Structure formats: structure tokens, C-alpha cells
Amino acid sequence: MASLNPVFFLVFLLLTTFYHLGEGRAPHTFLVGGSDDGWKVPESSNKTRLIHWAETQRFLVGDSLEFNYDNKTDSVLQVTKENYEKCITKEASKTYTATQTILKLNDSGPHYFISGDQGNCANGEKLIVVVQSPDHPPMPKPVPPTAPPTPSKPPTSPAPPTSPAPPTSPAPPTSPAPTPANNTAVGLVAGSGIFWTFIAVIGLAWA
């Protein structure tokens, strides 16, 4: 069993190495905006196009950004967050004016870029790039907002209970009619009594 320990260790080391190689990738150059002419003023109906494009990418340290534009009318400025939000072009930390500008991303964190034309920046030609270290987990993609739930109908009030009908008083019991058999028996008894009384009187008279 002891001789198997080095084998298990080598297998674990190989698997770990292949896992990290699969997670990594070679440095990549991104066309800003996803096309050769992506660095321009977006259409008025989609002013946040460049921002949304950057949110769907994963930028790592060592990657590069490629800006293509007409340097006679445009340029690229790297600015602070405050100047990015206010489109301030006079205090850029770096200015790029080449027709094809390629910037290497050497530092992790957010990077802010705006057009050298303040009017272009105000109309949406601006970009935020969040750079991650190679071992950083991928950022989740933006989730579209879900529609609010439709309000449920208020519960209807239950119908008021109906009053129970008053109980009816039971009918008085009727006396059962005498049966003919009983009347006949009474008549026979009464008749026989008179007959024997008459016989007794005659007997006394003869005595």
C-alpha cells in the first residue's frame, strides 16, 4: 500500500495542472464595440451600447483594447471616474490620437475611457472596462429586469349566511279511533248482564 502513495500524488498533481491550464487563456485583443468602427457616437436610441458591450466581456490582466476611429475628429482619453461621469476632457491621465490605438491592460480594476470630443462623450461615446486577474472567477452577465408580478384580485367577501328557517311545531297526536272488535265485546258484556239480572228477578218471584 505504501508504494501506491507516490502514484496517487502524481495523478493528483497532473489533474490539478490540467485543471488550471483549462481555466487560463492566452491574452486577447478586444475590438472596442465589437467592430472595426466601434469607437464612435452610438445611435440616439442606444446611447449605452458601448457600456453594455463591455459588460458582456471578461477582461483579464494582459489583454488589450483596440480603438479604431478617425483621428481628425476623434481621440481616446483615459480619465478618472469623476471625469468619466461628467465628460471632462481637460484632465485626462492619458491621451491617444492614433487612428488605431491599442492599449494593453496591465492593471486589474476599473478603467474609464471617453472620447476627446466632449459632445461625443455626452452622447454616449464612453466606456468602462473592468479588468480582472487571471484567477478571478468570471463576472456574472447582467440579468434583464423581470416584469413585475400582476396584482392578484382581492378576495371576494363570502355571502352572509342565511338564517335557518324556524322549526315547525309538531302536529298534536290524534286519538286512535276505537276498533269495531272492542265495541262488540262491550255490547255483549252489557247485554249478558241484563239477561242474567232478568233471570234472577223471575227466580225470586217464583220462590
Q: Does 201 reside within a domain?
A: no
What is the number of structural domains in the chain?
1
Q: Does 180 reside within a domain?
A: no
Q: Does 165 reside within a domain?
A: no
Instruction: Give residue for cell 485543471.
Output: 19
Output the nine-digit C-alpha cell for 25: 487563456
Q: Does 141 reside within a domain?
A: no
**Residue 112 φ then ψ, to 5°:** -115, 130
* Cα separation of the two ends of the chain: 148
Q: Does 100 reside within a domain?
A: yes
Q: Domain of 90?
A: 24-129
Nearest-angstrom CA–CA distance, 193 and 207:
21
Q: Does 11 reside within a domain?
A: no
Q: Does 71 reside within a domain?
A: yes
The burial class, CB within 10 Å (0-12 / 13-18 / 19+), for 88 is: middle
Q: What pLDDT shows up at residue 132?
A: 96
Nearest-angstrom CA–CA distance, 32 and 102:
10
Read off the pLDDT of residues 3-24 as tens digits, 9 standing for 90 and up.
545 545 443 444 444 444 434 6
Read off the pLDDT of residues 168-195 as tens digits, 9 standing for 90 and up.
555 555 555 444 444 433 343 334 454 4
Q: Does 114 reside within a domain?
A: yes
Residue 75 clears pLDDT 60, i.e. is over it: yes
Tell me the one-letter amino acid at 89: T
Could you tell me the CATH number of the domain that includes residue 35? 2.60.40.420
| Nearest partner of 115 among 76, 59, 57, judged by Cα | 76
Higher pLDDT, 7 or 204: 204
Is pTM beyond 0.75? Reply is: no
Read off the pLDDT of residues 29-61 as tens digits, 9 standing for 90 and up.
999 999 999 999 999 889 999 999 999 999 999
Q: What pLDDT shows up at residue 184?
A: 38
Tell me the one-letter amino acid at 202: I
